[in-house]
Amino acid sequence: MSTSPQHRPGPPDPRLFNEDLAPAAQRNWGTYSVFALWMSDTHAISNYAFAASLFVLGLPAWEVFAALLAGITIVYWLMNRMGHAGHRTGVPYPVLARASWGVYGANIPALLRAVMAVAWYGIQTWLASTAVVLLTLQVAPGLDAYNHNSVLGLSTLGWIAFMVMWGLQAVLLTRGMEFIRKVQDFATGPVVWLVVLALAVYLVVESHGDISLTRSLTGLSGTAQLRQSLIAVSLTVATFLTLVLNYADFARFTPDHRSYRRGNLIGLPVNFTAFAVVAVLVTAGTIAVFGEAIYDPVKVIQKIDNPVVTVIGALAFIVATIGINVVANFVSPAYDFANLLPKYLDFKRGGMITAVLAVLVMPWKLYSSALVIQYFLGALGAFLGPLVAILLVDYYLVRRGRIDVDALFSADAAGAYFYRRGYNPKAVLAFLPAAAVAASLALVPAFDALAPFSWIFGMALSGLLYALVSGRGRAAAGVGPMPQDIIPPQVRGGVAAEGEQPERSGAIAGPAAAQGS
């Protein structure tokens, strides 16, 4: 069902609207806040270990840096594309997805993303709790007696540490996005830099500068180094696809295009690569000082065997894990669950659902099974690649940036994004075969050589299919220049603005901004 250019949606439907899903009223995430967002995300133990492991596997340091820089540059490009849509519309990912999936169909990609985030939220919380256990035993060794029993897979001390981390994050999460911004600006990102730099300086001094960054530790051949470098590029992108998909959740709060673009530049290619340099330097230092390559920074701290260092290091990585958990694994499902029942669930309630489910999945059991992790990561890339492609193709090729924000909150059968009973069959048609192909490449042993690149095939196939089946919509959108200005919605405070409905702004003028099928 299509919409005429004159049709205007009425007040927002309560089944699709609440204050947290509405277009952003305040836009105070400047360049530094976006940069701090990426510090919170990239300064994770997992990213540190990934860079260090490439060095340990045999890539010379310069190839590690080149591969990670190439991968993160691709991520930077994708984030800017998603940032454009999030900034202009001012809405979070599940609302933006209504343009391509339908006002109800958007719950499909939103819930897929939420399930992945819940699992990782639990895993990251548990990993942080292991640092709490380490810190506790350093301060009070007598409590070790409570660290050897098992209750549903965790010791008594482990449960206490896990619930402490769970509670700390819950307090942070219930304060809202503005409080999250302030915490990440001044705590989660910078503090880890200080600790990792201190480790690097310590190891360089202890090794008397006898650290090699040019040779391969395992003597990999040139062909093997090239393949490993390409895998590193691909996995770097795959790791960030979760945040690529829901980057609108953050870009919606930026005041202008320069804020997210500059923040992305400093926080991704510059900061991520610099962090990788320090991670490799520390790992090379452990070889010279301890006689073995240690690519877990917590174990490096333990190896130094200094109570003060252990306490400071453990606290730093606890803070870092909270930062990445909030950014990568909480904000998205909080919006995703709120989008499911906006009348009853807001951002805070959606966040608490995330936190409760993260306990119920018993993440320590998930993480302890190599098979479960393998299948989970395979599914992650298989689903995320196609979802990213559908959103980008819809916004840039099908609609040319012409989004009717008010229609995103309308359940009117004549609405631009109602399609067929609120679902867009074209998105489903593009997603299912692409996800199936990507999942097969990622999980079937016969395709092991292609597994690290499965998301590329899924993204390319879903993007191509969606462009083909949406050909009529592309013609309707026209081929004019991509609009740059913020789309001024009439949706405010749960009701349409008073007075008569205004004409469309220049940002969405012309043919119907989003033609249904």
- pLDDT grade, residue 2 (50/70/90)? very low
Whether 259 is in a domain gets the answer yes
> Going by C-beta distance under 8 Å and a sequence separation of 6 or more, which residues neighbour residue 49?
279, 295, 296, 297
CA distance 86 to 71: 23
Whether 488 is in a domain gets the answer no
Whether 221 is in a domain gets the answer yes
Q: Residue 424: helix, strand or coil by DSSP?
A: coil
Looking at the DSSP assignment, which residues form a beta bridge with residue 33?
none
Which residue would you say has higher pLDDT here, 355 or 321?
Answer: 355
Say if CB 322 and CB 188 are below 8 A apart. yes
**121: CATH:** 1.10.4160.10
445 half-sphere exposure, CB direction, 13 A CA radius: 1
Whether 477 is in a domain gets the answer no
CA distance 240 to 252: 19
Which residue would you say has higher pLDDT here, 240 or 1?
Answer: 240
Over residues 15-61, the pLDDT tens digits come to 999 999 999 999 999 999 999 999 888 887 778 888 888 888 888 88
Lowest-confidence segment of 172-181, 252-261, 285-294 by average pLDDT: 172-181
Range of the domain at 60: 34-368
Closest by Cα among 330, 339, 454, 481 to 396: 481
Whether 3 is in a domain gets the answer no
pLDDT for the residue numbered 378: 64
Q: What's the domain count of the chain?
A: 1
pLDDT at 150 > cutoff 70: yes
pLDDT at 216 > cutoff 70: no
Whether 316 is in a domain gets the answer yes
Looking at the DSSP assignment, which residues form a beta bridge with residue 492?
495
pLDDT for the residue numbered 162: 94
216 Rama class: left (phi>0) / alpha (psi -120 to 50) / beta = beta
Closest by Cα among 157, 129, 127, 102 to 47: 127
Closest by Cα among 477, 395, 515 to 85: 395
pLDDT at 161 > cutoff 90: yes
Both tokens of 229, joined, read 């470098």
Q: Residue 492: helix, strand or coil by DSSP?
A: strand
pLDDT for the residue numbered 373: 63
Looking at the DSSP assignment, which residues form a beta bridge with residue 151?
154
Whether 417 is in a domain gets the answer no
- pLDDT grade, residue 505 (50/70/90)? very low
Over residues 224-240, the pLDDT tens digits come to 889 999 999 998 998 89
Over residues 58-106, the pLDDT tens digits come to 888 889 999 999 999 999 999 999 999 999 999 999 999 999 999 999 9
Over residues 360-397, the pLDDT tens digits come to 989 888 777 656 665 666 667 788 999 999 999 999 99
Please give the full DSSP string across 108-162, using - where no structure is assigned. HHHHHHHHHHHHHHHHHHHHHHHHHHHHHHHH-GGGGGGGS--BTTB-HHHHHHH
Over residues 419-450, the pLDDT tens digits come to 999 999 999 999 999 999 999 998 888 998 89
Q: What count of other Cβ atoms lies within 10 Å of the Cβ of residue 291? A: 7
pLDDT for the residue numbered 49: 80
Instruction: Tell me the average pLDDT across 151-171.
Output: 91
Q: What is the pTM of this model?
A: 0.87
The identity of residue 222, as a single letter, is G
pLDDT at 219 > cutoff 70: yes
Over residues 288-327, the pLDDT tens digits come to 899 888 877 877 887 887 878 878 887 887 777 777 787 7
Q: Residue 482: helix, strand or coil by DSSP?
A: coil
3-state helix, strand, coil in the chain (%, to 5): 70, 0, 30
Whether 39 is in a domain gets the answer yes
pLDDT for the residue numbered 323: 75
Question: In which residue are the tokens 């399930």 written?
Answer: 115
- pLDDT grade, residue 511 (50/70/90)? very low
